[in-house]
A = this chain, B = another copy of it.
């Protein structure tokens, strides 16, 4: 069997590694348009912020590694121009020699990833406007900073990439202004939780321009001005555009492969596309919510790894199926950790749930061991008691609580189950009643207040 994979970052290489573990005879080839493979996209903000010293720490593996360890041939700087789904062949261009050739496959894996969204505004193509998507785009930002020693940046977008870049650029001594179209930072979260983040960013001397957007970028490169829709202007040395990413679906679409309503490649639970023997995984493919069962597009490194492995299994006829995601996310901004999973309040209402909500403020470990307050917002189904979603802002132990909630929600936990968890307690790690337990207890009380007879134990 000959397996050809398009894309050699998280999903593509995971698929290759798993396929090889299951079948030591298959021929496995990967074509990668870029020069870097299997890199940590999530580490790029820290690479720019010099917290990661060596480029090799972000790109620890090369083609030789995959050849030796997995007997997988990775061809970098090779762009696939066309998929012939019926004839089962690819048109491939060697970007170094410009040679174009045909490559046949028995099974194909599309792991073409995603690209940064480029807003359609005047001046967006200027050389001091940057995106953060792959290692080369990070190199460009690093080189610009090293060469020009800029003192101010405008970051457009306040999702997790925008905020991770905020921390890293601010800590390089660069003055940061965030421009966000929504009237809150982190539009994925509820506005009441975003408020805590906004307050903290202001304490950190970050300028926030909310409810406004970039209309144009003007002026000489040395005196760039960002013109906002409101008419306000911001002088800046450079711009990081972090307004979202979109799946790379052109190849798939041209080949007649079905694209889902989310705009990403539609797949079944084995990551098979609408065309036999053609799979898709990672940031170019759709996920689905294990809460609502609806298709969603939430491109993340952890999901790319997961769906890649599922493809690797499916290529050999395995039974592993994708169980969907909760839409979990976490990021760090300065000393704060911000995390969320499941449905926010606004999402739950949009989905038609009758809900109860709590804002639980508790210390993350014993006060005498340095405990600090964390805020947990919980959303639960008023009628079934089922926990639907969590958002947390805190200092330490946020990652722990979100992962406990992820696990509980995955197994269908009701709010009244959380009190019973036999969580690990010692003063350096927690409190005798963990904030997770309190969240369940408070939500339970909210439900009892509204419908005292409904609570089942």
A-side residues, CB < 8 A to B, are 10, 40, 42-43, 46, 51-52, 57-58, 60, 160, 164, 290, 300-306, 309, 319-321, 323-332, 337, 339, 341, 366-369, 397, 399-400, 402-404, 406-408, 410-413, 417, 419-430, 432-434, 436, 457
Pair B43/A425 contact, Cβ less than 8 Å = no
In the complex, the answer to whether B457 meets A422 with C-beta atoms within 8 Å is: no
Pick from B57, B321, B424: contact of A368, CB under 8 Å: B57
Other-chain contact of A406, B306, B337, B410, B422 (Cβ < 8 Å)? B422
Which residue of B301, B302, B366, B400 is within 8 Å of A422 (Cβ)? B302
In the complex, what residue of chain B is closest to A367 when comparing beta carbons? B57
CB distance from A418 to the nearest CB of B (A): 9
Cα–Cα, bound, A315→B164 (Å): 51
A sample of 20 more A-B contacts (CB under 8 A), given A301-B432, A326-B422, is A40-B368, A40-B432, A42-B425, A52-B369, A57-B368, A160-B426, A300-B425, A302-B422, A302-B425, A302-B432, A305-B433, A399-B424, A399-B429, A403-B423, A404-B404, A406-B423, A407-B423, A408-B411, A410-B421, A411-B411
Q: How far is the CA of A426 from the CA of B399 in the complex (A)?
A: 9
Residue numbers in B under 8 Å from A51 (CB-CB): 368-369
A386 to chain B, nearest CB (A): 13
Query: Which chain B positions have C-beta within 8 A of A421?
Result: 403, 406-407, 410
Contact A329:B407 (CB < 8 A) given known A400-B399, A419-B306:
no
Residue with the highest number of chain B CB atoms closer than 10 Å, among A58, A332, A425: A425
Contact B427 A46 (CB under 8 A): yes
Beta-carbon nearest neighbor of A436 in chain B: B403
Q: How distant is the Cα of A369 from the Cα of B413 in the complex, in angstroms? A: 33
* Chain B minimum-CB-distance residue to A302: B425
CA distance in complex: A40, B369 (Å): 12
Instruction: Tell me the complex Cα distance, A160–B428, Å.
Output: 13
Q: Does B368 contact A58, Cβ atoms closer than 8 Å?
A: yes
- Which B residue's beta carbon lies closest to that of A430? B399
Please, which residues of chain B bring their CB within 8 A of the CB of A325? 422
Which residue of B has the minimal Cβ distance to A405? B407
Alpha-carbon separation in the docked complex, A444 to B335 (Å)? 37
Give complex CA distance A149, B237 in Å.
62
Contact for A330 among B331, B411, B426, CB less than 8 A: B426
Separation in Å of the A374 CB from the closest CB of chain B? 14
Q: List 6 A-B contacts (CB under 8 A).
A: A46-B368, A160-B426, A302-B432, A302-B434, A329-B424, A399-B429
B327-A422 in contact (CB<8A): yes
Contacts of A40 in B (CB 8 A): 366, 368, 427, 432
Residues of B within 8 A of A430 (CB): 399
Select A425's contact among B164, B330, B413, beta carbons within 8 Å. B330
Q: How far is the CA of A342 from the CA of B222 in the complex (A)?
A: 63
Question: How far, in Å, is A94 (CB) from chain B's closest CB?
Answer: 30
Q: What is the CA–CA distance of A10 and B431 in the complex, to the nearest angstrom? A: 12
Contact with A429, one of B10, B300, B321, B337 (Cβ below 8 angstroms): B337
Q: Which of B46, B320, B328 contacts A369 (CB 8 A)?
A: B46
Q: Which of chain B's residues has its CB closest to A41's CB? A: B432
Closest to A321 in B: B457
Residue numbers in B under 8 Å from A10 (CB-CB) = 432
CB distance from A258 to the nearest CB of B (A): 25
What distance in Å separates the Cβ of A313 from its nearest Cβ neighbour in chain B?
A: 10
| Contact, CB under 8 Å: B399 / A302 | no
Assembly CA distance A399 to B399 (angstroms) = 10
For A327, give the chain B residue with the smallest CB separation: B422
Task: List, in ascending order, chain B residues with CB within 8 A of A400's CB.
Answer: 397, 399-400, 403
Min distance, Cβ A355 to any Cβ of chain B, angstroms: 21
Query: Residue of B at shortest CB range from A392?
Result: B424
Q: Please tell me if the beta carbons of B300 and A332 are within 8 angstroms of each other in the complex.
A: no
Complexed CA–CA distance, A403 and B368 (Å): 22
A457 touches B319 (CB 8 A): yes
A427 / chain B contacts, CB cutoff of 8 Å: 40, 42-43, 46
Assembly CA distance A320 to B319 (angstroms): 41
Please name the residue on chain B nearest to A407 by beta carbon: B407
Q: Are B426 and A52 in contact, with the CB atoms below 8 A?
A: no
